[in-house]
Amino acid sequence: MWLYLAAVLVGLYLLWRWHRERQMVPRLSEKYVLITGCDSGFGNLLARQLDARGLRVLAACLTETGAARLRAAASPRLQTVLLDVTSSRSIAAATAWVRECVGDRGLWGLVNNAGIAIPCGPNEWLTKDDFVKVLDVNLVSLIEVTLSLLPLVRQARGRVVNVASVMGRISFFGGGYCISKFGVEAFSDSLRLEMRSFGVKVCVIEPGYFKTMITNVENLEKNFLSTWEKLPEETKASYGENYLKGSVVALRRLQKTYNSNLRLVTDCMEHALTSRFPRTRYSAGWDAKLLYIPLSYLPSALTDFILSWSSPKPAQKA
């Protein structure tokens, strides 16, 4: 009897949650949304997706080529602006442009999507500048863009959507990428609590492995090999040629596991922007749901064993 009662309660809860999450924000055609990193990948697809829903999309691109290509693929409603998220001057100019576009309506949505993954590799192989390069784009710039546009989002009682990663939950390769995504999670948590009283909702997107420009295996492999070539001979001897070859093989193996359906991620972003009751966190991809996020809850010793089991081993061990 208790088992049936529990099943009924779970079913009612899932039905209630499904109904709640299907409730949409009214008057979407009046809402302005700014998306960073729209030259390609998630940002480009999301811009076209929201444009098709009738929202007023303000797409920030790094290059004029990317902006022109996006305008050609969208309706006249969509507007583009050139934005280098690592430049305070560029951010200030884009903020002034957005303020002029939205007027008294404010900015309903800010999607911090721009990001890079390279340089990456074993931490010992990298320099401080390698870490700073990634952190500057993925974390520091995200914070600066958010702080610059937050008054406009607060005015609209809107949404901030930050793109993190499952690597913001569990870190198993070196470099600034995982560090930056952990930082995005922490910044989003504090901002969500601060903005609660203003009616602003802050959501985090945690994709698994998807095929985008920043996860291009060829680029990662080139970066890995070029980093190896710059290492001192002593460091190369410690790791060994087999470690290098094993790492390259692992990168190529990853290519077979990438998910090419970017809509799984952009649908989460769209829901965060258009639902009356968005989730705090969205996990996108079955690898995120069934592997990486569950791994993040395991004891560290067990997680370390699982992640290191198939990893290449250095020549010199303790």
Tell me, yes or no, if 243 is annotated catalytic. Answer: no
Beta bridge partners of 58: 34, 79
The 3-state secondary structure of the chain, one letter per residue: CHHHHHHHHHHHHHHHHHHHHCCECCCHHHCEEEECCCCCHHHHHHHHHHHHHCCEEEEEECCHHHHHHHHHHCCCCCEEEECCCCCHHHHHHHHHHHHHHHHHHCCCEEEECCCCCCCECCHHHCCHHHHHHHHHHHHHHHHHHHHHHHHHHHHHCCEEEEECCHHHCCCCCCEHHHHHHHHHHHHHHHHHHHHHHHCCEEEEEEECCECCHHHCHHHHHHHHHHHHHCCCHHHHHHHCHHHHHHHHHHHHHHHCCCECCCHHHHHHHHHHHHECCCCCEEEECHHHHHHHHHHHCCCHHHHHHHHHHCCCCCCCCC
Whether 213 contacts 170, CB under 8 Å: no
Whether 126 contacts 119, CB under 8 Å: yes
Choose, from 13, 32, 177, 282, the residue flagged as catalytic. 177
- Residues with Cβ within 8 Å of 223's Cβ and at least 6 positions away in sequence, in order, are 118, 119, 120, 121
For the record, the structure tokens of 120 come out as 């990456």
For the record, the structure tokens of 309 come out as 């089991």
Q: How high is the pLDDT of residue 164?
A: 95
Neighbour tally for 158: CB within 10 Å: 27
Q: How high is the pLDDT of residue 4?
A: 72
Whether 137 contacts 158, CB under 8 Å: no
Instruction: Tell me the mean pLDDT per 10 residues along the chain, length 318.
Output: 74 75 85 96 96 96 95 95 96 97 96 91 92 96 98 97 94 91 97 96 94 65 85 90 83 76 95 95 91 92 86 71
Whether 209 contacts 287, CB under 8 Å: yes
Whether 254 contacts 224, CB under 8 Å: no
- Show the domains of the chain with their CATH numbers: 26-215+260-306 (3.40.50.720)
Q: How high is the pLDDT of residue 317?
A: 60
Whether 170 contacts 201, CB under 8 Å: no
State the residue for tokens 């008054």: 151
